[in-house]
Chains A and B, each alone.
Chain A
Amino acid sequence: MNITVFQGLDVAWKGLVGVFTVLILFYILIKLMLFAFKDKKR
C-alpha cells in the first residue's frame, strides 16, 4: 500500500473519532447548561 493510503487512514480515523469526541463534549456542555439554568424562564 502506498503512503497516501496510510495518510488517508490516519486522517479518517482521527477525523471520525474527533467528530464524536467534539460532539460528546457538546452533549455534556448542553446538559450542564440546561441543568445550571433549568429554572430560568425563556
Chain B
Amino acid sequence: MQELFAGILGFQLGHLAMLLIGGVLIYLAIAKDYEPMLLLPIGFGAILANIPLSSAIGPHGALTVLFNAGIDTELFPLLIFVAVGAMIDFGPLLQNPAMLFFGAAAQFGIFATMMFAIFLGFDLKVAASIGIIGAADGPTSIYVAKRFAADYIGPITVAAYSYMSLVPIIQPPVIRALTSRKERLIRMTPRPATDVPRVVRILFPIVVTIVAGLIAKESVALVGFLMFGNLIRECGVLERLSNAAQKELANLVTLLLGITIGSTMVADKFLQPATLMIMGMGLLAFVFDTAGGVLFAKFLNIFLKEKINPMVGAAGISAFPMSARVIQRMAQKEDPTNFVLMQSVSANVAGQVGSIIAGGLILALVPLALH
C-alpha cells in the first residue's frame, strides 16, 4: 500500500517549485507566444522529470534514453542545424556582404558576459557556456553547454530561448539609450535588388564549411550541418529533402529536443542560486550584443561618408527574423518613410553565421586556455 503512495510521500517543496516552473513555461508558450515550439515541450519535460519517482527519467526512463541518444551525442542540436540551414536564405547577405561585420560585432555579448560570469565566480567552461547565450542561437547554446557545462544545460537553454523571444522588448531600450534621434533617422540607400548567381549560392555553404573548419576544427560539425542544410536548399535538385528538412525534420527534432532538455530541469540541479544568475547573465548577454552592434556601426560612421543607421548594427544578433523586424519597426516609428529592412535582414543573416563561428571558436579556445 505504501508503494502506491510513494509518489505522494516523496513529494517535496522542490518538486512543487519545479512543477510550477514547468507550468509557467507552458503558460508563457501558450498565452504569451514566447517560442512556444520550444518552451512548451521544455515546460512539460520539466513536469515529467519532477513527479517524484518519475518513470520518465532514470536509467530506463524514456527521457533519459532520449537525452543519452540525442543531447549527450550532440545529435539533436546538429539535426536542428540541418533544418535551420534549409530554412535560411543567405541571399540578402550575399547581396550585401559588408553586413557580415555586424554579424561579428554583435557577438561581443558572448565574450563580455563570459567575463562577467568569471567575475561572479564561475569557472571558465561554465562561464563560456553562459556567455554563449549571447549567440542568440538555441542549438549553439545547447551544443556548447553540453560540452562545457552539462549540469547547467537546462537553465542555459531556457534563458537562450526565452530571451530570443523577448528581443522586441530587450533591444529597443538599449538602442534608444545608445543612439540619438538624428542617428535613428539616418536613411540608407537601398541597393539594387540584384540576383545572386546560383553558383555562388551553392558554393557559399561549401566554402564557409571548409574555411571555418580549417580555422577551428571544433566548428566543423556546427557549421557543417548548418551549411549542409543550406546546400540542400540551394542546390535546386533536392526539393523534397529541403522541404523535409524544413518541416518534418525541424518539427520532430524540435519536439524531442524540447522535452529532453526539460527533463534535465530536476529540482536539486535547477533550484540553485546559479540558475537565477544564469538567467540574469543571459539577459545581460543580449544587452551587450545589441550594444556591440550599435556601437560598432557608430564607430564605422566616423570613417564613412555614407552613414549607416546604427540601429542596423543591433540586427547582427542571430535571432532571425525578429531582430530585423524590430529595427525596421523602430526606424519607421521615427520616420514612417524610412526603410532599413533589407539592410537589417542582411545583418541578421550575418548574425546567424557569426553566432556559429563564435560557438566554434569558444569550443576551440577554452580547452587551449585551460591547457
Chain A, interface size category, equals 20 to 34
- A37 touching B111 by the CB < 8 A rule? no
User: Nearest-CB distance from A29 to chain B (Å)?
Assistant: 6
- B124 touching A23 by the CB < 8 A rule? no
8 Å CB contacts to A: which residues of B315-367? 350, 353-354, 357-358, 361-362, 365-366
Instruction: Count residues of B near A (Cβ-Cβ below 8 Å).
Output: 47
Contacts of A20 in B (CB 8 A): 101, 104-105
8 Å CB contacts to A: which residues of B112-159? 112, 114-115, 118-119, 123-124, 127-128
Against A, the Cβ 8 Å flags (1 = close, 0 = not) of B198-236 are 111001100110011001100000000000000000000
- B199 touching A40 by the CB < 8 A rule? yes
User: Nearest-CB distance from A36 to chain B (Å)?
Assistant: 8
Contacts of B366 in A (CB 8 A): 11
Contacts of A31 in B (CB 8 A): 97
- Does B197 sit at the interface, judged by CB under 8 A? yes
Partner of A23, one of B103, B123, B207: B103
The CA of A11 and the CA of B114, in the complex, are separated in Å by 9
Q: Is the interface of B mostly helix, strand, loop or mixed?
A: helix
- Does B268 sit at the interface, judged by CB under 8 A? no
User: Nearest-CB distance from A39 to chain B (Å)?
Assistant: 8
Contacts of B350 in A (CB 8 A): 23
Contacts of A11 in B (CB 8 A): 111, 114, 124, 128, 362, 365-366, 369
Q: Is the interface of A mostly helix, strand, loop or mixed?
A: helix
User: Nearest-CB distance from B129 to chain A (Å)?
Assistant: 12
Once A38-B197, A42-B196 are accepted as A-B contacts, the answer to whether A14 and B365 lie under 8 Å apart by CB is yes
Partner of A5, one of B118, B200, B357, B370: B118
8 Å CB contacts to B: which residues of A1-42? 4-5, 7-16, 18-27, 29-31, 33-34, 37-38, 40-42
The CA of A5 and the CA of B119, in the complex, are separated in Å by 7
Partner of B107, one of A4, A16, A24: A16
- A42 touching B198 by the CB < 8 A rule? yes
The CA of A25 and the CA of B212, in the complex, are separated in Å by 10
The CA of A22 and the CA of B119, in the complex, are separated in Å by 28
- 10 A-B residue pairs with Cβ-Cβ distance under 8 Å, sorted by A, are A4-B123, A9-B115, A12-B112, A13-B111, A23-B354, A33-B204, A34-B94, A37-B200, A42-B195, A42-B198
Q: Which residues of B contact A (CB under 8 A)?
A: 93-94, 97-98, 100-101, 103-105, 107-108, 110-112, 114-115, 118-119, 123-124, 127-128, 195-200, 203-204, 207-208, 211-212, 215-216, 350, 353-354, 357-358, 361-362, 365-366, 369-370
